[in-house]
Amino acid sequence: MDNRKLKESLRSPRVLMFINFFPPSAGGGVYRPLSFVKYLSRLSWDITVITPRPGGFWISDPALMREVPDSVRVIRTGSLSGQSVLGNLNKKSSSRRSSSRFGVLRRFGEYFLVPDTYVGWIPFACMAARALTGESFDIIYSTSPPDSTHLAARKFTRRTGIPWVADFRDPWIGLHLRKPPTPFHRSIHRRMEARVMEADRVIVTTDWQKKVLDENHPGCRVEKIPNGFDEEDFSEARTAAATVDGADGSFRIVHCGMLTLGRTSGPFLDGLNRFLCSRPESRGRVKVVFAGARESDNEELVHRYGLSDTVEFMDNLPHSQCVKLERDSHVLLLIKHDDEKYRGLIPGKLFEYIGARKPILAIAPEGEAASIIANENRGEVVSHGSPEKVADILTRLYDLFLAGKLEEAYSLDELPSYSRREAAATLDAVMREMIDDTAGKQ
């Protein structure tokens, strides 16, 4: 082996990562790639991240910057996104956006911004990547949503021939999760998805998505790496289990995360109202907190049901405070989209709730998420169209709380298989195999 090859074999593997949602941006799409960056760096990867400058997304958490290892090079670029335009229209709150305005933006984007409203980042990302052409990267990594991120990575990998792994946190949005506005748009999305399926590896998070891609793109190398929780978020001493003799004696239900046009608090609030009407003595002893970004419709529903004395909305919190809020709750509320197309999706928040080790009340259709909760006995699941069932379950949970038996009614053990550390170790193995495959062909 000559000296050049020896040096190559001894150096750390290098990965160039295209990540649109990255700290100080926050929200559910940030945590998986952030965990990959954090744990892959501990597995001796030399990491460069290309990401937009702050301001292109409507949620931020500057404290997350502390999670980015000092050894990671972050290259921030310009961007033109629909979200930044909407942000300029709504200066009042970074955690509350107008449902009507966002609906208009989404409809505009579906027609004119394909594949998504972040397509304006592609030229900036490609320009930044081209400036690195002389560097020796072993792997290109991209993650979606937004799906346009994969298109930027594809342009660079076609230019350089570097092996590419495309990580889908969710399926292709404009094709699988939203109905394209015209057959022409559908054909564009299908062609774009097919081009991304040319990646050397395609990573998905659910069995459902793997099945869909295996059927639609035979020959594509698809592997599943599930979402998870970061155990380091919960490494501090856990708060003692709350009881009726706790801080204020209230039964606390917490929802952390976004409430969007397709994921609304309405079904839960309807059931909560029915529960309080059937158990009037519980009013004042039940507190519900929605923490995080939301559409304005949710607050309007609270006023409509007369629940202002029970329900509190909190703006986007630093992630560490969300984790504390989850640990200090009695029940964690999970809301999934009420849409057949979303049935196969598993919200990343479910795994964080598993890490918090509190009973879960999920408003969700049948699917993988509901099955995890049922099979692991982590809580209760009810469909969107059953507000009376929501009321019944709230009655059960409240009675268990009063009896001091809430947590013992469910299996709340640690589940290491859903650890993001484990997910990163799997990705590490996949990418090192890709490097070995490439070396074997040379």
Condensed to tens digits (0 to 9), the pLDDT of residues 54-64 reads 877 768 889 99
What kind of architecture, by CATH, is found in domain 232-417? Answer: 3-Layer(aba) Sandwich (3.40)
Q: Is the pLDDT of residue 47 over 80?
A: yes
The single residue listed with the structure tokens 């490439």 is 438
Contact between 109 and 116 (Cβ < 8 Å)? yes
Q: Is the pLDDT of residue 419 over 90?
A: yes
pLDDT band at residue 357 using 50, 70 and 90 as cut-offs: very high
Q: Is the pLDDT of residue 150 over 60?
A: yes
pLDDT at 26: 87
* Rounded Cα gap, residues 419 and 31, in angstroms: 12
* Rounded Cα gap, residues 403 and 397, in angstroms: 10
pLDDT band at residue 178 using 50, 70 and 90 as cut-offs: confident
pLDDT at 337: 85
pLDDT at 101: 58
Reported as a single tens digit per residue, the pLDDT across 109-141 is 788 889 998 999 999 999 999 999 889 999 999
pLDDT at 7: 52
Q: Using CA of residue 61, residue 225, residue 117, residue 75, what is the dihedral sign? A: positive
What is the Cα 312 distance to its own chain's centre?
23
Burial of 23 (0-12, 13-18, 19+ CB in 10 A): buried
Pick the range with the lowest mean pLDDT from 20-24, 79-83, 148-152, 266-270. 79-83
Backbone angles phi, psi at 48, to 5 degrees: -120, 130
User: Are both 11-228+419-441 and 232-417 of the same fold?
Assistant: yes
Please state the domain extents for the chain: 11-228+419-441, 232-417
- State mean pLDDT over 376-391: 94
What kind of architecture, by CATH, is found in domain 11-228+419-441? Answer: 3-Layer(aba) Sandwich (3.40)
- State mean pLDDT over 79-84: 70
Q: Is the pLDDT of residue 77 over 50?
A: yes
**Half-sphere exposure at residue 20, Cβ-oriented, CA atoms within 13 angstroms:** 34
* Rounded Cα gap, residues 68 and 273, in angstroms: 43
* Rounded Cα gap, residues 21 and 33, in angstroms: 8
Q: Is the pLDDT of residue 429 over 50?
A: yes
Angle of CA points 58, 59, 65, to nearest 5°: 130
* Rounded Cα gap, residues 124 and 76, in angstroms: 9
pLDDT at 6: 47
Reported as a single tens digit per residue, the pLDDT across 242-281 is 433 345 689 999 999 888 767 889 999 999 999 999 999 9
pLDDT at 371: 94
- State mean pLDDT over 153-175: 95
Q: Over the chain, what HEC string results?
A: CCHHHHHHHHCCCEEEEECCCCCCECCHHHHHHHHHHHHHHHCCCEEEEEEECCCCCCCECHHHHHHCCCCCEEEEECCCCHHHHHHHHCCCCCCEECHHHHHHHHHHHHHHCCCCCCHHHHHHHHHHHHCCCCCCCCEEEEEECCCHHHHHHHHHHHHHCCCEEEEECCCCHHHHHCCCCCHHHHHHHHHHHHHHCCCCEEEECCHHHHHHHHHHCCCCCEEECCCCECHHHHCCCCCCCCCCCCCCCCEEEEEECCECCCCCCHHHHHHHHHHHHHCHHHCCCEEEEEECCEECHHHHHHHHHCCCCCEEEECCCCHHHHHHHHHCCCEEEEECCCCHHHCCCCCHHHHHHHHHCCCEEEECCCCHHHHHHHHCCCEEEECCCCHHHHHHHHHHHHHHHHCCCCHHHCCCCCCHHHEHHHHHHHHHHHHHHHHHHHHHHC
pTM: 0.87
pLDDT at 237: 38
**Half-sphere exposure at residue 15, Cβ-oriented, CA atoms within 13 angstroms:** 27
